[in-house]
Amino acid sequence: MSNPLLESHLLPPFSSILPEHVKPAIESLLDRNRERIASLLASLKASGETPTWASLVAPLEQWEDELSQAWSPVGHMNGVSNTDELREAYNACLPLLSLYSTELGQNVDLCNAYKALQASDEFETLNQQQKTTIEHALRDFRLAGVDLPQDKKERYSEISQRLSELTSKFSENVLDATQSWSKHITDKAELAGLPDSAVSLLAQQALQRNLEGYVVTLDFPSYLPIMTYADNRSLREEVYTAFVTRASDQGPDAGKFDNTDNMNEILQLRYEMAQLLGFESYAEYSVASKMAESADQVLGFLNDLALKAKPQAQREFAELSQFANECQADGEFGADELMPWDVTYFAEKLRQQRYSISQEDIRPYLPVDTVIKGMFETVSRLFGVQFEEQTEFDRYHADVRFFNVTKDGEPLAAFYLDLYAREKKRGGAWMDVCRTRRLADSGVQLPVAYLVCNFTPPVGDQPALLTHDELTTLFHEFGHGLHHMLTRMDVSAVSGIAGVAWDAVELPSQFLENWCYEPEALAFISGHYQHQGEPLPQALLDKLLAAKNFQSAMGTMRQLEFGLFDFHLHHEYRSEPLDVQALLNDVRSQVTVVPTVPFGRFQHGFTHIFAGGYAAGYYSYKWAEVLSADAFSRFEEEGIFNAETGQSFLDEILSQGGSREASELFANFRGRSPSVEPLLRHCGIEVNEEIA
């Protein structure tokens, strides 16, 4: 029987891929690549000739791309349509891929071949992306332990394989814990306060389970409306408790999917790996390939931002507490002491009182098809590209859509769009690589992306309607997608998001969010689903803009809490076990202005750092937000749809991939180094001159 993962396809043959195909295909490709690489190195040695780009890098890139295109659909389906059989096949391959990657990174002959190429006369004739690819490869050889003695190389390999298993298990536990809990409600009165859209979703979830009434789950489209609108305080507390104790030793499923041991072993192994490579901490190891110059610089950046934002955050929380007290005095579901399950609820009530606007007021104006069309129009005006939906393609779920990207009739890229929450799909939103742009033997291979969200699906005959927060999430992920798809690089190692410093990779995504607040853009991004596409009325728009920075300092401090916790965790961990909860409590004592509870186990579900690419790198969101706010300020100065400014952003940042340092690309676009002032201004954070 043929194996679809071993065959060449323009797009992944999702309908043909079965779990039993996965491991044999990956094993076959890994064995074939090992043989090819050994043969290549033997041939170079026998010839005595200096390696060239054509004889060394080009074939390696081709073989790596074949492996990537086989593994990409497997990893994607594991995230969006997880089954026990696929999960088992996926996990069986992780140590195989980790071992292969380590072998490459520690291959002395391969490293020496790259060194010889860098020292050759040809190197000076190579273009910038080729030079950067070679420089990054040599850096990565060092970071993979190529210079270590054999016993330490073997230990590094063991650590890498084990980490791949642990991080996957961490993510699985969070998914399983999220999907394990649900609450069946038969009395609609318990849902008082919820908007009709949320009630309809909960009813639909009950119907899908063959139950009467309503079902609340921990998926975000279900969880967030409960926390935001439910007048029933005990229901909010119950749902909140289940959510913040997922995959831990606390809460309703205490111990069932507990990530405590996984978390501790991940930290211990990361520290040991950093030590093997000569770094004081995993944080130092992480920063070695990032835009930031040192761990001290990262901590200084985060602490400085916290110092600037905390006074306003404290004022915002004091106002919220006073408001909750006043609600109690008026007999309106108030609270004399705000608990964590009260904060979002009263914040929404205060927002409505102060600005007379709610996310639900905006939802009818953001039907998903109108939003997508408006997003395409925004990007078309900025970068001169067009989008066309393709209805005939091999899909893995009925919800998935597929679009081609063109410019002046010429194909540039394509992407899958998977918008709605469902069972067996992990939470959150992300962009991932399906195929990378590169110059292949047959010509330019065009990039393809996966764009994934977890929005509220269509309910009954009503189309999917987005909140404004979901709108910005969609634009955020599409910004990542544009970074991948609009690259002009022809070498896969620096094409799209590849080779981009991780603390700069959020620049295009956060940058694109700005158009979600621009009246000129919202005029065509929005359109009422019942009233002949009527755009967001001026009165609502004015309220939305007025409320844009509502509690923005509190939000900033929350992100800084996550960033500081992550970085301190990976910077302070030593061979002695670290009390993770105590460290989180210490960080919170310095920066948190909202209440916490002793049973909360946020860290047990922090997949960004324990199962994603953000270990000792969560600070990247704030770091890149400085870049994105400053980049957008040029559009504020020159016009938000200024085609020349858009072309400049495309030329200097989006198209360049990882071919140059992020700081250099930013300076080329902005004409100077980044400033934090536009970020503070965009967030509405007023800084005391004495603090500044």
- Active-site residues: which are they? 477
Enclosing H/E stretch for 66: helix 58-80
The tokens for 155 are 């230990």
Enclosing H/E stretch for 535: none
Phi, psi of 435 (to 5 degrees): -150, 145
Name which of 490, 417, 494 is nearest 448 in CA terms. Answer: 417
Name which of 372, 557, 556, 576 is nearest 475 in CA terms. Answer: 372
**Is residue 386 classed as helix, strand or coil in its secondary structure?**
strand
For residues 345 and 325, what is the distance between their CA atoms, to the nearest angstrom?
Answer: 13
One-letter amino acid of 347: A
For residues 480 and 415, what is the distance between their CA atoms, to the nearest angstrom?
Answer: 12
> CB of 683 within 8 A of CB of 313?
no
> CB of 397 within 8 A of CB of 500?
no
Tell me the DSSP string of 462-475: BPPB--HHHHHHHH
> CB of 259 within 8 A of CB of 610?
yes
Cβ neighbors of 268 (< 8 A, separation 6 or more) are 573, 575, 577
* 8-state DSSP, 367: B
The tokens for 429 are 């939103």
For residues 522 and 597, what is the distance between their CA atoms, to the nearest angstrom?
Answer: 39
**Is residue 239 classed as helix, strand or coil in its secondary structure?**
helix
> CB of 374 within 8 A of CB of 524?
yes
> CB of 545 within 8 A of CB of 552?
no
Give the per-residue SS3 of 244-270.
HCCCCCCCCCCCCCCCHHHHHHHHHHH
The tokens for 611 are 């199962």
DSSP alpha helix (H) spans, 526-594: 538-546, 552-572, 580-591
For residues 531 and 628, what is the distance between their CA atoms, to the nearest angstrom?
Answer: 35
Give the per-residue SS3 of 623-640.
HHHHHHHHHHHHHHHHCC
For residues 527 and 534, what is the distance between their CA atoms, to the nearest angstrom?
Answer: 5
> CB of 566 within 8 A of CB of 618?
yes
For residues 495 and 440, what is the distance between their CA atoms, to the nearest angstrom?
Answer: 13
